[in-house]
Amino acid sequence: MKRMKLLATLLCAAILIGCAPKNITIEWDNSTCHFVTPGVYARITKVDNRHALVYNAGAPALIRFSDDKCESWSEPSVVARAEGYSFTNCELLQLQSGRLLYMWNARPHSGTELPFKIMYALSDDSGKSWSEAKDLYVAYPRFQDGCWEPVALQLPDGEVQVYFANEAPYTNSSEQEISMMRSTDNGESWSKAEKISFRAGSRDGMAVPIYLPHSNEIAVSIEDNGIRGRFKPVIVRTADNWRDGFVAAEDIRREEALTPDCAVHDTIYAGAPYLIRLGKNHTLLSIQSTEERKGHNERFANMQVYVGDKNARNFCNRSTPMPELKENASALWNSLHQIDDETVIAVMSVGGQERGKGGIWTVKGKIAEKK
């Protein structure tokens, strides 16, 4: 009880000064670290009173459910599949109406002339059945002119937004922007794509948006390879739902995510950020990083997690969900989810750790006082 009171006092003090609590971190419980299923790019989302796991293992988009706070999972159900495509980058959002919006990146098989696409399906019965898969955005057949990594957000007024990385506007270069599309009818129809962030000559990618209710801002974590060499985590933001235009390279709305004392060296790769709100007063940011990894090679990157303030700033206090990751293993394409008031879960695509168990792993952590 005394420990909980002390923790509450520390959290309140951090809120008052408006910065990330210097002595708060995530304490990961190694006993909860385990292999879940073959697959990649997994995300966990609350659906009604249970949790859903969305991912792909091969071509189709899949979903599983848990009724025991992510301790065990149902058998997978196929949400969608299509001839000539593999579906990946799966994401799920439950709308205010209760409807489920499941979206993914449709990647054409090699040797075809099919285009890269962002697609989606809807469910109005908590995932028991799904609508026919529909195109949200269609790019080009060439890999270097594709579209990637959709993530959805719903605002308090009901508007639904889908953010994704987009190479299609830059067929004569290797540049990439973050695009966004809007729906005001729960996913029945969508606006044209809008440019949200772009650094000329570089590649903004892997956007994850959150809504900050106390400031009415939208904060979006992205990876940015136009600062300090290799990809680093950056937050771009808007206070008026992007009416202020896209975030360019020198825009004050583009900020490095990590505090100076927690920032990684220029030579470190720190990409694929994932951002969530943690309760009312904190945020969490994960990256896949080559810090302290073999040869700083991206193939052996590991998941790292940082605590931020309620404004999605001042990320510090690094923790590692899987500290015993082997030298030649990797934990990539990671995500985070808050299970309850005290518990978060890290979701990783792990390879090379244990024979026969390449795929999706999870580990739970608690908010804790930094020792």
CA 129, CA 124: separation in Å to the nearest integer?
A: 8
pLDDT in the model for residue 4: 42
CATH tag, 24-369: 2.120.10.10
Tell me what percent of the residues of the chain surpass a pLDDT of 90: 87
pLDDT digits (tens, 9 = 90+) for 273-329: 999 999 888 999 999 999 999 888 999 999 999 999 999 999 999 999 999 999 999
Q: Is pLDDT at 6 greater than 90 in this prediction?
A: no
Residue spans per domain, the chain: 24-369
pLDDT digits (tens, 9 = 90+) for 163-222: 999 999 999 999 999 999 999 999 999 999 999 999 999 999 999 999 999 999 999 999
Question: Region 249-271: what's the mean pLDDT?
Answer: 95
pLDDT in the model for residue 21: 55
pLDDT in the model for residue 24: 82
pLDDT in the model for residue 1: 45
Contact residues for 203 (Cβ-Cβ < 8 A; gap 6+): 165, 174, 175, 176, 223, 225, 226
Q: Is pLDDT at 8 greater than 50 in this prediction?
A: no
pLDDT in the model for residue 23: 75
The model's pTM is: 0.93
pLDDT digits (tens, 9 = 90+) for 42-62: 999 999 999 999 999 989 999
Average pLDDT, the chain: 93
Q: Is pLDDT at 370 greater than 90 in this prediction?
A: no
pLDDT in the model for residue 294: 85
